[in-house]
């Protein structure tokens, strides 16, 4: 998997980019944007004094502040990188500072809810192009970010139907410059697709690790000691940020419940196949699922290596 960013641009794509929420995603954008010269100025905004102080120490932005309205004042691109549950509150706080003509975007893992929360706070003349980089790790905070996080990953844009083409193209160019493959779809479709590819798998991981932790006949130390590959992989996912994932499930409720219903039906069929010794049914399913994994690897979205190719290089 390519891990290197291309050369820096001679002229930046934006004069000033303001990032709100400097955790894994916000700090990764800051690092990539700086490395690639995508913005003349990068302003980092976070609710936490400790995060702002750390951003200054790391030197990943030109300015760092807790004042949202002041921080976005000069920005021609503002990206909300906060948990999806606070997007409405943050949009309300930034409203007085937004420059006419600026583009507001986000990175939330859920799209319809973010659109509903943010859009009402945007003044006329401000463009809104929601985005979701389908890239991440189980780590949080400004130290967790790295500039190659978005390289060769998908970024899904969900612009409203009346979005200005030029604004959509500028956001597309920003993500493409960071190495992402950009695709456009509706917010509703995004939420359905991500429910099955990301949200339900996380719920299953949280559930299986929680169930193992609650077992009485198998001790917790045995679960840890004998954790084989399968369980270990679930624990990585189940270590993901609790605030972020609580918000995702609460804000993509309908799509997640729809997919969970389908999953419950399929699990009942698997249980039946095991009970009645229908090995051919199990073998057929496991053969189809193996082909899906191989398809993901051949598309370059995963490596066959046992560590899942998640070794990172910091730049």
244 forms part of the interface with ligand NAP (CB under 6 A): yes
Can residue 5 be called a binding residue for ligand NAP (CB under 6 A)? no
- Choose, by CB under 6 A, the member of 5, 13, 21, 104 that binds ligand NAP: 21
> Mask: binding to ligand NAP, 195-234, rule CB under 6 A, as x and -?
----------------------------------------
Q: Is 126 in the site for ligand NAP (CB under 6 A)?
A: no
Number of H-type helices and E-type strands within the chain: 13, 9
DSSP H helices, 160-278, are 165-177, 187-194, 200-214, 220-225, 229-238, 242-251, 253-275
Strand pairing report for 77-80 and 103-106: parallel
Contact between 130 and ligand NAP by CB under 6 A: the answer reads no
Q: 168 and 157 in contact (C-beta within 8 Å)?
A: yes
Q: Find the shortest distance in angstroms from Cβ 207 to ligand NAP.
A: 19
For the record, the structure tokens of 154 come out as 């998908």
- Of the candidate spans 2-10, 105-113, 223-231, 276-284, the one that interacts with ligand NAP by CB under 6 A turns out to be 105-113
Q: Which stretch binds ligand NAP (CB under 6 A): 19-27, 157-165, 206-214, 269-277?
A: 19-27
Q: Are 121 and 88 in contact (CB under 8 A)?
A: yes
Q: How far is CA 160 from CA 113, 115, 168, 289, in A?
A: 13, 8, 10, 35
Q: How many CB atoms sit inside 10 A of residue 227's CB?
A: 15
Please, what is the minimum distance in Å from the beta carbon of residue 94 to ligand NAP?
9
C-beta of 51 vs 78, nearer to ligand NAP: 51
108 binds ligand NAP (CB under 6 A): yes
90 binds ligand NAP (CB under 6 A): yes
Shortest Cβ 92–ligand NAP spacing (Å):
10
Which position among 20, 32, 79, 187 is part of the footprint of ligand NAP (CB under 6 A)? 20
**Residue 259 CB, nearest approach to ligand NAP (Å):** 18
Which stretches of the chain are assigned E, i.e. beta strand? 14-20, 39-45, 63-65, 77-80, 103-106, 127-128, 131-134, 154-157, 181-184
Should residue 133 be labelled a site residue for ligand NAP when binding is judged by CB under 6 A? yes
If the CB atoms of residues 22 and 209 are measured against ligand NAP, the closer one turns out to be: 22
Please give the Cα distance from 193 to 99 (Å, whole number).
34
Q: Which is nearer to ligand NAP, 50 or 218 (by Cβ)?
A: 50
Per-residue b or e along 159-185, where b marks 16 or more CB atoms closer than 10 Å to that residue's CB: beeebeeebbebbbebbebbbbbbeeb
86 binds ligand NAP (CB under 6 A): yes
Give the residues lining the site for ligand NAP (CB under 6 A): 20-26, 46-48, 51, 81-84, 86, 89-90, 107-109, 132-133, 136, 140-141, 241, 244, 248
């Amino acid at each position: 998997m390519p891990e290197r960013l291309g050369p820096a641009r001679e002229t930046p794509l934006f004069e000033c980019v303001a990032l709100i929420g400097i955790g894994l995603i916000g700090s990764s954008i800051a690092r990539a944007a700086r490395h690639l010269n995508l913005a003349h100025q990068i302003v980092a905004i976070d609710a936490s004094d400790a995060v702002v102080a750390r951003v200054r120490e790391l030197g990943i932005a030109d300015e760092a502040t807790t004042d949202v309205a002041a921080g976005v004042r000069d920005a021609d691109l503002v990206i909300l990188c906060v948990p999806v549950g606070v997007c409405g509150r943050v949009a309300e706080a930034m409203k007085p500072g937004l420059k006419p003509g600026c583009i507001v975007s986000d990175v939330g893992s859920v799209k319809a809810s973010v659109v509903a929360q943010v859009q009402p706070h945007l003044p006329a003349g401000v463009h809104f192009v929601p985005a979701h980089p389908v890239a991440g790790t189980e780590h949080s905070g400004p130290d967790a970010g790295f500039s190659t996080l978005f390289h060769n990953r998908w970024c899904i844009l969900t612009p409203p139907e009346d979005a200005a083409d030029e604004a959509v193209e500028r956001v597309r160019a920003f993500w493409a410059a960071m190495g992402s493959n950009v695709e456009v779809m509706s917010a509703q479709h995004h939420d359905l697709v991500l429910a099955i590819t990301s949200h339900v798998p996380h719920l299953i991981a949280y559930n299986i690790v929680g169930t193992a932790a609650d077992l009485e006949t198998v001790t917790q130390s045995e679960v840890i000691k004998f954790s084989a590959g399968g369980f270990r992989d679930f624990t990585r996912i189940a270590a993901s940020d609790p605030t972020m994932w609580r918000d995702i499930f609460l804000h993509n409720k309908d799509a997640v419940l729809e997919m969970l219903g389908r999953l419950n039906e399929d699990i009942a069929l698997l249980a039946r196949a095991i009970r009645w010794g229908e090995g051919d049914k199990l073998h057929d399913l496991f053969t189809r699922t193996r082909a899906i994994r191989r398809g993901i690897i051949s598309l370059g979205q995963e490596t066959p290596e046992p560590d899942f190719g998640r070794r990172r290089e910091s730049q």
